[in-house]
Amino acid sequence: MTIASGTVAAPVLDPLGAAHRLAETFAQGAGARDRRGGTPKRERDAMRESGLLSLSIPRELGGLGASWPTVFEAVRVVSEADASLGQLFGFHHVICATCRLFGAPEQWRALLSATSREGWFWGNTLNPLDRRLALRHTAGGLRLRGTKSFTTGAMDSEMLLVSAIDEETERLVVAAVPTQRPGIEVYDDWDNIGQRLTDSGSTVFHDVSLDESEILGPPGPLGSTFATLRSCIAQLTFVNVYLGIAHGALGGAKPYTRSRTRAWPGSGVEHAGEDPYVLEHFGNMWTELIAASATADRAAQLLQRAWSLEDDLTPEQRGEVALMIAAAKVVSSRAVLDISARIFEATGAGATTTHWHLDRFWRNARTLTLHDRLDYKVRELGDWALNDRIPSPSFYS
């Protein structure tokens, strides 16, 4: 198949250092970018040029061969500066992992090698809950027809990961397709309150040709115990974006409180930094963030151990990972929603001025934490705590 080339990056010797340098650049003007919305073309190109798009790809395939804890730390660092860019960066690596987990060896090796070599940025048109995209069997070959919603990062990508319902078998199939293939139309229709630069709108496939070799498998979607780690990686990516948002919210509130917030008249202190209730708010927020981060880091370690087992991974070992990630999802979701709202209790009314852009942290957190229902994560954890049942693998657990 013919695939457009991206920007080839130089090797990265210090990936976390590179992530921090990117974050410093991304933090400049993050609030103004959020207000504008749209495709962050300049920032996406900076990620291409950094070499970090190959962070999770094995060294023997031209990548940096980083562990999952390192990948997630980089996602957290970028998300602290700009949560939209953190989500785009994180889900690029989720898709690379999906190629590895769902594809046959000759497929994933070719796709990941090309990603490293050509500097591809992947977009997501998988969304298994949206079943409107069909794989049709025609006299002229396989065709994709229909629409996908929440297609994060599809705009300005070189490759797309696509899911569709096979009209003959009614089974879900997942394929890797060049974004510029004739018939693919990515719409600029993402207009939500948060994550405004993720281009998470819709993509339409107008009888797009598909070669049989582009359909990933075996094992295919969730086709083995190892393949079911895909949802674990996706869920933990969200967790680390949440943690980045929480860090960003605290990082924005701290200098404002110290330099601009006035002490309350009845506090008996001269500066807001000495107000006992302001200190209580910061103490509670910091505690929530530390607890959520520790849980997420533990989950990343367990995931790395499971990843290294490959096809020797047992359902019980996979269940242990999924449970810890579910716990991280619960505590990080609650922490980021609380922290991104609570900062205003500490900073005061003046901080709600649009000039400071502090509202973007809550809007981003509220938008992204709705990706899948937290109630069902809590239910899975309760079923384990009470009944010793591990979660059944799915695209969300």
Domains in the chain, CATH or no CATH each: 15-121 (1.10.540.10), 134-214 (2.40.110.10), 229-387 (1.20.140.10)
Name the H helices within the chain: 15-27, 30-36, 41-50, 68-81, 83-102, 105-118, 229-259, 276-309, 315-347, 359-368, 374-387
pLDDT tens digits along 132-151: 999 999 999 999 999 999 99
- pLDDT single digits (tens) 182-223: 999 999 999 999 999 999 999 999 999 999 999 999 999 999
Quick: pLDDT tens for 60-86.
999 999 999 999 999 999 999 999 999
Count other C-beta atoms under 10 Å from residue 379's C-beta.
14
Alpha carbons within 13 angstroms on the beta-carbon side of residue 179 total 22
> Is the peptide bond preceding residue 11 cis, with omega within 30 degrees of 0?
no
- For residue 84, give both structure tokens: 């939209």
Q: Rounded mean pLDDT of 16-44?
A: 97
Quickly count: other Cβ atoms within 10 Å of residue 1's Cβ.
11
> Contact at 8 Å (CB) between 256 and 351?
yes
Collapsed DSSP state (helix, strand, coil) of residue 143: strand
The two beta strands, 172-178 and 184-186, are unpaired
Non-local (6+) Cβ contacts of 286 within 8 A are: 250
In tens, the pLDDT along 346-376 reads 999 999 999 999 999 999 999 999 999 999 9
Give percent of the chain with pLDDT exceeding 90.
95
Range 29-48 average pLDDT: 97
Phi, psi of 336 (to 5 degrees): -70, -35
d(CA 392, CA 397): 7
The per-residue pLDDT for 13 is 73
148 — phi, psi (to 5°)? Answer: -125, 140
For residue 215, the 8-state DSSP code is: B
Per DSSP bridges, beta strands 134-138 and 159-166 are parallel
Task: Report how far Cα 265 is from the mean position of its chain's Cα atoms.
Answer: 44
| Helices 229-259 and 68-81, packing angle to 10 deg | 40
The DSSP call for residue 350 is G
Q: How far apart are CA 381 and CA 325, in angstroms?
A: 10
pLDDT exceeds 70 at position 6 = no
pLDDT surpasses 90 at 233: yes
What CA–CA distance (Å, rounded) separates 267 from 354? Answer: 27
> pLDDT category, 8, cuts 50, 70, 90?
low
pLDDT at residue 3, as a whole number: 44
Chain centroid, CA 156 distance in Å:
17
Residues 151/125, Cβ–Cβ less than 8 Å: yes
- Provide φ and ψ at 124, rounded to 5°: -110, 120
pLDDT at 297 over 90: yes
Q: What is the mean pLDDT of the chain?
A: 96
114: its two tokens:
């090309």
Average pLDDT score over residue span 108-117: 98
> In this predicted structure, what is the pLDDT of residue 387?
98
pLDDT confidence of 1, banded at 50, 70, 90? very low
Whether pTM > 0.75 for this model: the answer is yes
23 CB burial (10 A radius; 0-12, 13-18, 19+): buried
Average pLDDT over residues 293-311: 98
Contact in structure between 69 and 56 (CB atoms under 8 Å) = no
pLDDT value, residue 236: 98
In single-letter form, the type of residue at position 17 comes to G
- Read off the pLDDT of residues 247-265 as tens digits, 9 standing for 90 and up: 999 999 999 999 999 998 8
Whether the Cβ atoms of residue 149 and residue 127 lie closer than 8 Å to each other: yes
Residue range 313-329, pLDDT digits in tens: 999 999 999 999 999 99
Report the C-alpha gap between 63 and 12 in whole angstroms: 9
